[in-house]
Amino acid sequence: MQLIHPAFLYLGLLAIIPIVLYFFRRRSKVVAVSTLVFFKTLAREHQESAWLRRMKKLLSLLLTLLMVAAAILALVRVVFAPRVDDIRSVVVLLDRSASMGTLDEEGRTRMEVAKEEIRTRLDGLPEAIGVSLIAFDSRPEVLLPRTLKRRELISRLDQIRVRPIAQDLPAAMDMAVVIANLEKPAVIWQVSDSTPVIELGEVLESESEAENREGQESEEVDQAAGGGLPDGVSLEWVNMAVADALNVGITAFQVRPIPMESGKFEAYVKISSNRAAKKTVKTKLEVNLAGMPLQLRELELEAGMSESLIIPIEGSDGQLLRLELRTEGDCLAVDDQVVYPLPKNRSVVVAWITPEPDPFTEIALSAIQEEGMLDLWKGGPDAWPLSEAVDVVIFDGWLPEEWPGDLPVIVMNPPGNSGPIKARSVGKSGIPYESIRVGNQEHPVLFRVSSTRVALTQTCVYDVEGGSLEPLWLAGNEAVLSAGEVRGQRMVVMAYSPGRSEYLPLTASFPLLMGNAIFWCAEKSKAVVERVRENHSGDLIQVEGGELLWTDWKGGQWREEKQALSGGLVELAQTGVWRASEGQQGVAHLLSITETDIEAAVDAGAKAGEGGNTVAGRAKGQWGDVTGWVLAALVMILVVESWLFHRHAVY
């Protein structure tokens, strides 16, 4: 126990006043009155024996002295703190990730409550105990190494702000352990709303408890904590989780152009609810493009559940797309919004190499070319290797001796072996099939392709070495259409001839299939789709120029903010669209299920307390100021004194 302001103890001399008054006896005075009727009535109501009157006077004195003592204790601020012999250093590990911006019922963020709790605990630490301060989100940052200067520590603490970045608690704990290990015995205060990754029982055990535990470390704890904490280093979790947590956020997002449809895009959105929500959550997703409302979706989510949406978008290159969730009672706003500029596209350059051009294939490719989304180069085997750069190459009925490992490839009716392709013909006439089985209708190559009326003629069987192709169409037991990546190279293989097939080349599905295959193969080509650079907030990126211009939707309007750069490496410490002075452009999203899945205080405490662990039980308030309790005791004394001595007062 310590006194923060012991100078106020001199006020204890005020106790002399009630003591003197207790021993001071006023002499009775005889006064003449006109009548004794009222005084006799009072005498009947307050008839008491002499010993009871003396006891009441003594009790009144004691209560008065207790009130004086409680008032003085409130002024001197009594705190409970460990002895200097128990620990020599404290490492404050403060979470500043996005979830620390969660609001409680009083409208305070977890960061505000955390700072208040840390200040109270620091008041209770002896001056001889050194304190280190580490703030962490995606990476830890040592803001102040071991110091005895409390004012400097409080100043650095006040400068910490919540950042819209997902946390990496294991990395932060590793850093805290390294610093705590420099001067032992030490304790780590994990001030966070997340369950600790290392939980090793009570902090600051008594000597008898330590002797009983010595040499008896739990194997389960060692496994869960990756070997546990070093000897002399203990962990205490200061639980900042809210009592009642309800949060819905966007945890995944992607935009891609729709093949063969200029100016049309699809936005994939995943919306998740936290597991601590106590009821079914109703939320609204508002879609805006270039500042204008586009769509409004309403959803219902069970606790801990997610729902995925595909939203069609029509717009022009560079327009800002904004998606925002609106949920009643949502306690975290930073994960409710994403902003994204629509990507810019150019025509895909395709080389079609074939000894005998198939007329149906040529018609399909020409139809795509007429839409202005394809530049087609056609040639025979003698044109290979190509002298010009292309995005995708189609080998139709022919394979090169030297396989191109740096280009996406579409192989149609392969006649033999080349590179990873091992093919064998099934005969000149092929094997006709009136129908096929679908392997994965959700694959982008089959996007909007109707597979129910497809009839084709299989011309070969094939195998691919060094990679895994997913069968999309199967005729009998053999795959006739596959897609995937082989050693990082995108590839589509078609083991049929369009010209020999009965229904396939005459349907609208065939040109759509060819377009999907081409655009899926070219999807990763930076020259085809000038996508903005997508990153998670907190990532480190290389940027040229002197500043970044951030654009984000805040306070109901678009706002721009400049960030000065020093050197080429920059941390994306916020969300939104950024543009460098040298022309580079990108976007930073939170998109973290870890931050969206906010834990409730009860659930988090139960997790930390599993297996007999007591870290959660020693969370908030173990060390700290008891002034609040002293003031509460003072109020109770006043109530008791009033009830005992003033309930029969006459006015």
Q: What is the pLDDT of residues 192-222, one digit of tens each?
A: 998 887 643 333 333 334 344 444 433 333 3
The band of 225, judged by pLDDT with boundaries at 50, 70 and 90, is: very low
Contact 284, 295 (CB under 8 A): no
Residue whose C-alpha is closest to residue 518's, from 529, 533, 502: 529
**pLDDT of res. 79:** 64
Q: How far apart are CA 329 and CA 621, in angstroms?
A: 28
The band of 121, judged by pLDDT with boundaries at 50, 70 and 90, is: confident
Cis link prior to 18 (omega < 30° from 0)?
no
pLDDT tens string 77-95:
666 655 545 788 999 999 9
253-334 to CATH, choices 1.10.10, 2.60.120, 2.60.40, 1.10.1200: 2.60.40
In the numeric block, the tokens 């040639």 are attached to 379
Per-residue pLDDT at 612 exceeds 60 = no
**pLDDT of res. 16:** 85
Task: Give percent helix, percent strand, percent coil of the chain, each to the nearest 5.
Answer: 25, 35, 40
Per DSSP (E only), the strands in 148-192 are 186-192
For the chain, give the percent of residues with pLDDT over 70: 83
**pLDDT of res. 451:** 86
Q: Which CATH superfamily is domain 348-521 in?
A: Class I glutamine amidotransferase (GATase) domain (3.40.50.880)
In the numeric block, the tokens 């100016």 are attached to 263
The pair of three-digit structure tokens given for residue 82, joined into one six-digit string: 């460990």
Locate CATH 2.60.40 in the chain.
253-334
- The CATH class for the domain spanning 89-243+599-622 reads alpha beta
SS3 248: strand
Locate CATH 3.40.50.880 in the chain.
348-521
- Rounded to whole angstroms, what are the CA distances from 618 to 82, 243, 377? 14, 17, 72
When the pLDDT of each residue in the chain is averaged and rounded to a whole number, the result is: 82
Residue whose C-alpha is closest to residue 376's, from 404, 367, 385: 367
Contact 304, 246 (CB under 8 A): no
Locate CATH 3.40.50.410 in the chain.
89-243+599-622
For the chain, give the percent of residues with pLDDT over 90: 42
Which carries the bigger pLDDT value, residue 111 or residue 13? 111
